[in-house]
Amino acid sequence: MRRKPLRLAKSLLLYGALILFAIFMMGPFLWIFSVSLMPGKNVFSFPPAIFPTFIDFDNYVQVWNYMDFPRYLMNTVIIALMGVVMNIFFSCLTAYPLAVFRFKGRDLIFALLVATMIIPAAAGMVVNYLTVKALGLMGGFLAVVLPSAVTVFNVFLMRQAFMGMPHELRDSGKVDGASEFRIWLQLALPIVKPAIAVIGLLEFMGMWNSFLWPMIVLNDTKQYPIASALSFLNGQFSYNFGWIAAGTVISVIPIIIVFLCTQKYYMEGVSGAVKG
């Protein structure tokens, strides 16, 4: 009986600390949401305007009418879906032999792949541009997606997931006369669905937030994704922070919805990869 108050006090302190940490991590989003409700207010004034004086959604209405949000959202959805599908397919296809097959140099190949993660993404931008231009893909959505169609982190994550697959499952497929591709498609992939969900979520977020690269390879501004299109607000209305904040909040809402719908699979996939 004496331990119950102590356990209760520890639980209250733990949950209180977690709530404070969650509020701290949500601080930037709460601040930008608050700014979006401030009509014509300069948020960098002193004292800083952290909380809105009153709730007004006029910024959302004005920025929606000014920008062709349905077009930019559709462009972003197309780019994000293309990136997710290509990353899942190529990552799973690359990681499966690195996890299941036994051949000379397998560990060396995997080590070299992991070593490339130290190279900054900006270092390969010139090479990616020359490659896309040589392939004649400039000005299309494929030029945006192709340079990041597969990433080393996704290959690493899927390899860890495939390594946790029972070897008897692959042997049973061979006994039944199934090809290696059929074993991969019908037996291996259903087992690693949580890891696939993690890749889908991370790549969806990455493609949705693409900013600089689409502006380089896309010739028509009407093809821009939402993150690149928001640069129009920053350029012409650099002091209208309410418009910029409202557009940012609109662009973030789909990511929050997708994450809330897939957070269960995300946690299962991450924990499975760590155990593997």
pLDDT-derived band at 31, boundaries 50, 70, 90: confident
In this predicted structure, which of 27-36, 141-150, 209-218, 259-268 has the lowest mean pLDDT? Answer: 259-268
**Per-residue model confidence (pLDDT) at position 3:** 63
Residue holding tokens 């899942």?
88
Helices in the chain by DSSP H: which ranges?
3-25, 27-36, 58-66, 69-100, 106-115, 125-134, 141-145, 152-163, 167-175, 180-182, 189-191, 193-208, 212-217, 226-229, 231-236, 241-275
DSSP-derived secondary structure letter, 46: S
pLDDT at 231: 80
Question: Contacts by 58-65 with C-beta closer than 8 Å and gap 24+?
Answer: 59/242, 59/243, 59/245, 59/246, 60/36, 60/246, 60/249, 60/250, 62/243, 62/246, 63/233, 63/243, 63/246, 63/247, 63/250, 64/250
Tell me the residue type at 70.
Answer: P
Lookup: tokens for 119: 């190279």
Hey, what domains does the chain have and what are their CATH numbers?
3-55 (no CATH), 61-273 (1.10.3720.10)
pLDDT at 1 over 60: no
Whole-Å CA distances, 196 to 157, 173, 234: 9, 22, 36
Amino acid present at 222: K
CA-closest candidate to residue 225, choices 67, 36, 32: 67
Q: Is residue 14 predicted with pLDDT exceeding 70?
A: yes
d(CA 87, CA 125) in angstroms, rounded, equals 19
